[in-house]
Structure 1
Amino acid sequence: MVLRFVLRGLVGVLVLLTACSTTQAPAPERSAGMATVRESELPAEARETLRLIDAGGPFPYERDGAVFGNFEGLLPRHERGYYHEYTVGTPGSRDRGARRIVTGRHGETYYTDDHYDSFRAVLR
């Protein structure tokens, strides 16, 4: 009887610890196998770009919102026009720099800091 009570208590503690775990949320299914980054871990300029995207602009660069062709094939394949790209400012850069946010039609968000050589799915 006492053993059963102790075991139930241990199971309850384990359930609570699992529920309170601070492990990173899994990547959305649409980016399975892709590296991820939490929004809070992005550079401040990337978080500002996300804020502008959420607000619908205004955007500081003329190309912001342009269709992203995914010619590198690193993002899930979709028809042309599915993805759009936005510049993430790079301090000290004289041009747009290499950092971008790419968004998908269904809310997917990706970050690259190497001009499309690699992407991380943004966990928002």
Structure 2
Amino acid sequence: MRTLKPLLLLVVLAIAALLWGRHTSEPTPSGAAVPVTSAAVTAPGHSGTLPSFLPPEAADTLARIARGGPFDHRQDGVVFNNREGHLPPMPEGYYHEYTVETPNLDYRGARRIITGGTPPQVYYYTDDHYRSFRRFEVAR
């Protein structure tokens, strides 16, 4: 009986871990290390303007995300791991990153759009290479 209890506990923990990994709703960002602000934006291809904090080049990035590419950088679309924990905690693979071009640079620069979910359900923008984020919504 003593060897059965640890085995039973291990099975219960494994099931709990599997169920936790299926959690897909976004938790509230309370306790986030960096404030996340919000704004709305119309989906690419529709009339509307971008929030004032998004550079004009973000429209092209959003259109490419909506189309599924093509992307200019091999890193675009890769999993963003949220190592610093600035975004709400989600299962691995939930967030993806995309480059927002910076004029007159011959490298990727610091500007990114981070999407959450597949297909994307939430959008974040950073212009300081992941130190801060601003959430925005894309009208569907």
**Normalising by the residue count of structure 2, what TM-score does the alignment of the two structures yield?**
0.63
Tell me what 1:110 maps to.
124
Which of these residues, 34, 37, 41, is aligned with residue 36 of structure 2? Answer: 34
- Equivalent pairs counted in the alignment come to 97
Distance apart, 1:67 and its partner CA: 0.4
Name whichever of 113-122 and 101-110 sits farther off: 101-110
Structure number with larger C-alpha Rg: 1
- Report the secondary structure of 2:57's partner residue: helix
Q: 1:29 offset after TM fit, Å?
A: 7.5
Q: How does 1:52-91 map to 2 (within 5 A)?
A: 52-91=64-103
**Aligned mate of 2:58, from 4, 26, 46:** 46
Q: Is the 8 A contact 2:38 2:137 kept in 1?
A: yes
CA 1:54/1:112 → structure 2, altered by over 3 Å: closer, same or farther?
same
Structure 1 residue runs of 5 or longer lacking an equivalent are 1-27
Distance (Å, rounded) in 2 between the aligned partners of 1:84 and 1:117:
16
Q: After TM superposition, where is structure 1 displaced by more than 4 Å over at least 4 residues in a row?
A: 28-33
TM-score normalized by the length of structure 1 = 0.71
Unpaired runs of at least 5, structure 2: 1-25, 42-49
Matched, 1:101 2:103: no
Which of the pair is proportionally richer in helix? 1
Aligned-residue identity in percent: 49
